[in-house]
Amino acid sequence: MTTATVNYLAPGSRRNRLYVAPGDHHTTTRYDRRTVTVTDARPFREEFTLDRSGFRLLDHRSAVTDFASESQLESAYAREVSDLVKQVTGADEVISLGWLRRAAKDTAGRGGAALPPAPDVHVDLYDGRWALRYASAHARGPLPEPGTYRRALWTSLWRTFSPPPQDWPLALCDYPSLSGEEGRPNLLFRVPAVPSPAEEAEFADDAAESAAAVFEYRPEHRWWYFPDTHPGEAILIKLHDTDHGVAWRAPHTSFRDPGVTTSRPRESVEFRTVAFFR
Cβ atoms of 218 and 131 closer than 8 Å: no
C-alpha pair distances (Å), 111 with each of 3, 66, 69, 155, 165: 32, 9, 7, 25, 22
pTM of the model: 0.94
3-state secondary structure of 221: coil
pLDDT the model gives residue 114: 76
pLDDT the model gives residue 106: 56
pLDDT the model gives residue 261: 85
Nearest to 96 by CA among 273, 275, 277: 273
pLDDT the model gives residue 23: 73
User: What residues contact residue 120 under an 8 Å CB cut-off, 6+ apart?
Assistant: 6, 7, 8, 9, 29, 31, 214, 253
C-alpha pair distances (Å), 127 with each of 33, 114, 147, 149: 25, 27, 18, 18
Give CA–CA dist 217/72, Å, rounded: 39
Give CA–CA dist 78/86, Å, rounded: 12
Containing 239, the helix (H) or strand (E) segment is strand 233-241
Q: Regarding beta strands 267-277 and 93-103, do their DSSP bridges make them parallel or antiparallel, or are they unpaired?
A: antiparallel
pLDDT the model gives residue 67: 94
pLDDT the model gives residue 43: 98
3-state secondary structure of 131: helix
E strands, 55-147, where? 55-59, 93-103, 122-123
Cβ atoms of 99 and 67 closer than 8 Å: no
Return the CATH architecture of domain 2-8+36-186+212-277.
Sandwich (2.60)
pLDDT the model gives residue 116: 85
**pLDDT tens track of the chain, all 278 residues?**
999 999 999 999 999 999 988 878 889 999 999 999 999 999 999 999 999 999 999 999 999 999 999 999 999 999 999 999 999 999 999 999 999 999 987 544 444 557 888 889 999 999 999 999 999 999 999 999 999 999 999 999 999 999 999 999 999 999 999 998 899 999 999 899 999 989 998 899 998 999 999 999 999 999 999 999 999 999 999 999 999 999 999 999 999 998 888 778 899 999 999 999 99
Give CA–CA dist 132/241, Å, rounded: 11
pLDDT the model gives residue 22: 81
3-state secondary structure of 184: strand
